[in-house]
């Protein structure tokens, strides 16, 4: 029954794909998919925030990313993720650094500079700790993982 349902769904979907294959409407599908994952993730984050009683969006971005990865995997398995659809998402992915640049340009840096040392320390000490942890984890991993893990 489920198989039947899937096959009819696929046939339906394929007919749509065929219908629009030569149109220029593929990229907006990627953008819409991204927007859908984004909104759903934010909704989950807002809801979770209310449920645990902090008036905040809890991990909406993280949930949206997980949704997008799942959606992408689902579409890839069905060969529905063409380069044009993916392009609609990748365009926004490539805008990530510029948007971060704009974001840093609207921060209250003037105020932040009065306590500049904290940023310097919080940016360096954790990095030093993590650098030191790399060989420890790599060594423990070599013992525990199957051979294909340790490519030489």
Partner 1 sequence: MDYIVTLLVKNGLIVAFLVVGVLMVVADLISEKATRRMLPGSAIAIFFGLCLAWLGGWLTGGNKGLADVKALSGFELMGGPMLRDFTIVATAMGVSFSVIRRTGLAGMLSLVLGITLTFASGALIALAMGYTDARSITTMGAGACTFIVGPVTGTAIGASSDVIANSIAAGLVKSILVTIGTPLIARHIGLTNPSAAMVFGGLLGTTSGVAAGLAATDPKLVPYGAMTATFYTGLGCLICPSVFYVIVQALA
- With residues binned 3-state (H G I as helix, E B as strand, rest as coil), the percentages for the chain, rounded to 5, are 80, 0, 20
Judged by CB under 8 A, the residue of 1, 79, 134, 147 near partner 1 is 134
Q: Can residue 109 be called a binding residue for partner 1 (CB under 8 A)?
A: yes
Whichever of 65 and 84 has its CB closer to partner 1, that residue is 65
Whose CA is closest to 86, among 36, 31, 35, 37?
31
Of 11, 28, 32, 99, the one binding partner 1 by CB under 8 A: 99
Listing DSSP states for 17-61 in one string gives HHHHTTSS-HHHHHHHHHHHHHHHHHHHHHHHHHHTT-SS--SHH
| Residue 129 found at the interface with partner 1 (CB under 8 A) | yes
- Residue 102 touches partner 1, criterion: CB under 8 A: yes
Residue 101 interacts with partner 1 (CB under 8 A)?
Answer: yes
What x/- string results for residues 1 through 30 when contact with partner 1 is judged by CB under 8 A? ------------------------------
Asked whether position 51 contacts partner 1 by CB under 8 A, the answer is no
- Cα(42)–Cα(60) distance, integer angstroms: 4
Residue selected from 1, 2, 23, 98 as contacting partner 1 according to rule CB under 8 A: 98
Hey, which residues between 53 and 82 contact partner 1 (CB under 8 A)?
54-66, 68-70, 72-73, 76
Q: Which phi and psi (to 5°) does residue 72 adopt? A: -65, -45
C-alpha span between 41 and 64 (Å, rounded): 4
Dmax of the chain from CA atoms?
67
Q: Does 40 bind partner 1 (CB under 8 A)?
A: no
Binding to partner 1 by residue 103, rule CB under 8 A?
A: yes
């Amino acid at each position: 029954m489920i198989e039947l349902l899937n096959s009819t769904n696929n046939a339906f979907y394929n007919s749509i794909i065929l219908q629009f294959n030569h149109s220029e409407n593929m990229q907006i599908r990627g953008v819409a998919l991204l927007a859908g994952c984004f909104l759903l993730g934010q909704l989950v984050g807002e809801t979770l925030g209310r449920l645990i009683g902090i008036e905040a969006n809890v991990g909406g971005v993280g949930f949206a990313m997980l949704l997008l990865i799942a959606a992408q995997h689902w579409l890839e398995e069905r060969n529905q993720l063409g380069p044009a659809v993916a392009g609609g998402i990748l365009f926004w992915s490539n805008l990530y650094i510029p948007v971060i640049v704009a974001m840093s340009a609207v921060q209250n840096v003037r105020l932040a500079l009065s306590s500049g040392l904290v940023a310097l320390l919080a940016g360096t000490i954790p990095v030093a700790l993590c650098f030191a942890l790399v060989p420890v984890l790599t060594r423990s991993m070599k013992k525990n993982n199957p051979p294909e893990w340790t490519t030489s």
